[in-house]
C-alpha cells in the first residue's frame, strides 16, 4: 500500500510539473522588462528608496491574478491527494479542450479512488459519480474518444441492423466531429426504423435547420 501511494504521489507531481506554466513565464518576462528601467531610476533616486520600490514591484507581479487551472495545480502540488481538486482540474481542462491533460487528471483521480476505496467516507458517492460524469464528458468531447465510440457503435449496428438507438448515437457522434453527411445518413436510418422516434426528430431539427 505504501509503495502504491508513493508511486501515485510521484505520478501526480510528474504530471503537474512538466514545463513552466505560461503564467509563470509571463512573470519572468515582466521582471525582465521592468528591472532595467527601474534599476536606472533607483540609482537616480538614491539608494534604499529606489531599491525598495524595485523589490516591491517585482514581488507584486507574482500576485497578479492566476488562472483557475494554475491555482488548482498549485493546490495539488501542496496536497496531491486532494481528490476534489483533481476533479475540478479535469473539468477546467475539458472546458479548455485540453483533453490529454484532462485524461491524466482523471486517471490520477481514479487511482486515488481505488486507493481509498476502503474508506468511502473520504470520497463519497457524489464525488465518485462526478468522476464518472467527467469521464463521459471527456469521451463525448475528445475527437479521439469519439472515433473509438463510433467504431464501437458501428459494430453494434452491424450485429443489430434494426437498433434505432445505435443509429441515433452514430448520428450524434458524427455530428460532433463535423461529419454532417454521415450524421444525416445514420439519422435517416434511425427514422426509417421508427419515424416517431422523438430524440431523432429533435436531432433532425439541429442537423437540418
The reply to whether 99 and 55 lie within a common domain is yes
Same structural domain for residues 75 and 22?
yes
pLDDT tens, N- to C-terminus, the chain (209 residues)? 555 545 544 554 455 444 444 443 444 444 444 444 444 444 444 444 444 444 444 444 444 445 888 888 888 888 888 888 889 999 999 999 999 999 988 888 888 887 765 555 445 556 678 888 999 999 989 999 999 999 999 999 999 999 999 999 999 999 999 999 999 999 999 999 999 999 999 988 888 76
Give the total number of structural domains in the chain: 2
- Give the pLDDT confidence score for residue 126 in this predicted structure: 60
Residues 152 and 58 in one domain: no
CATH number at residue 156: 1.25.40.10
164 and 110 in one domain?
no
Same domain, yes or no: 156 and 83: no
Q: 124 and 107, same structural domain?
A: yes
Structural domain that includes position 112: 2-139
- Whether the model clears a pTM of 0.75, i.e. scores above it, the answer is no
CB-based contact 134:90 (threshold 8 Å): yes
Q: What is the pLDDT of residue 81?
A: 86
Task: Indicate if 151 and 185 belong to the same structural domain.
Answer: yes
Task: Please tell me whether residues 24 and 77 are part of one structural domain.
Answer: yes
Last residue of a domain, one of 87, 122, 139: 139
Amino acid at each position: 500500500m505504501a509503495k502504491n501511494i508513493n508511486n501515485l504521489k510521484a505520478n501526480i507531481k510528474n504530471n503537474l510539473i512538466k514545463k513552466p506554466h505560461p503564467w509563470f513565464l509571463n512573470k519572468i518576462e515582466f521582471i525582465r522588462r521592468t528591472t532595467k528601467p527601474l534599476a536606472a531610476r533607483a540609482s537616480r533616486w538614491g539608494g534604499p528608496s529606489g531599491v525598495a520600490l524595485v523589490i516591491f514591484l517585482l514581488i507584486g507581479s507574482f500576485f497578479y491574478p492566476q488562472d483557475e487551472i494554475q491555482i488548482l495545480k498549485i493546490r495539488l502540488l501542496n496536497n496531491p491527494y486532494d481528490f476534489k481538486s483533481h476533479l475540478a482540474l479535469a473539468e477546467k481542462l475539458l472546458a479548455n479542450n485540453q483533453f490529454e491533460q484532462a485524461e491524466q487528471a482523471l486517471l490520477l483521480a481514479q487511482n486515488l479512488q481505488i486507493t481509498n476505496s476502503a474508506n468511502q467516507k473520504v470520497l463519497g458517492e457524489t464525488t465518485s459519480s462526478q468522476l464518472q460524469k467527467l469521464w463521459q464528458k471527456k469521451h463525448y468531447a475528445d475527437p479521439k474518444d469519439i472515433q473509438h465510440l463510433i467504431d464501437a457503435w458501428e459494430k453494434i449496428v452491424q450485429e443489430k441492423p434494426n437498433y434505432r438507438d445505435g443509429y441515433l448515437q452514430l448520428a450524434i457522434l458524427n455530428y460532433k466531429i463535423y461529419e454532417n453527411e454521415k450524421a444525416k445518413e445514420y439519422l435517416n436510418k434511425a427514422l426509417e426504423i421508427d419515424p416517431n422516434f422523438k430524440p431523432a426528430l429533435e436531432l433532425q431539427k439541429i442537423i437540418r435547420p
